[in-house]
Amino acid sequence: MKKVFITLFCLAISTAAVNAQNNPATSPVHPAPPPTAAPAAAPAPAAPNPDAGKFKFEEETHDFKEVPEGPLAEYDFEFKNVGRSPIVITEAHGSCGCTVPKWPSEPILPKHKAVIHVAYTTQGRVGMINKDVIITSNAQQSPMRLHITGTVKAKPVEATAAPTPPPAPAAPKK
């Protein structure tokens, strides 16, 4: 009987506490905040500069198909600046530590080509590849996203031959 009474008492206290928090009109401790003006709208994103550089990649997604586990899977994403100003790449990073890009540090002038080299570490990563490289620059398409896909096949398990037992000792001659 004592347990039932304590349980009902705790339930009643919990219910009262929940109802008190849900009804701000009856709660003198937490008055409703005064009405304020509507928050200022976020500034509209700036329109891209029509004179800025512009990436034109031969391909934005590369499929490695099947690659063996172990060696790096590498690919060069070649692009041309088809804009009116030089492109300066300030950063490029993979979507994880296993995807490492290298990009040109010098500006890519209009009508010139350059390469972003991407290396994917396959060791210990058997299965699907689906990674991104995000490029930050002063180009019209910033950030620019490149993709790599494929499948890493596990190393074949090397079959080790069972050691041959040593020859049985010859029976002693009598």
Return the domain boundaries, the chain.
55-153
Taking the model in full, what pTM does it have?
0.61
More confident residue, 2 or 153: 153
CB 79 within 8 A of CB 55: yes
Give CA–CA dist 20/29, Å, rounded.
Answer: 10
Task: Give the separation between CA 87 and CA 89, rounded to whole angstroms.
Answer: 6
CATH 1.10.10.60 is the classification of domain 55-153: no
Sign of CA dihedral 149, 134, 80, 76: negative
Task: Classify residue 16 by its DSSP letter.
Answer: H
Query: Taking the CA of residue 19 as centre, how many other CA atoms within 13 Å lie in the half-sphere pointing to its CB?
Result: 6
Instruction: Find, among 92, 70, 66, the residue nearest to 79 by Cα.
Output: 92
The CA distance from 80 to 111, in Å, is 6
Q: Are 65 and 89 in contact (CB under 8 A)?
A: no
Task: Answer whether 53's CB lies under 8 Å from 142's CB.
Answer: no
96 pLDDT more than 90: no
pLDDT band at 37 (very low <50, low <70, confident <90, very high): low
Q: pLDDT tens for residues 137-173?
A: 999 888 899 999 999 998 877 656 566 667 767 666 6
Q: What is the pLDDT of residue 162?
A: 61
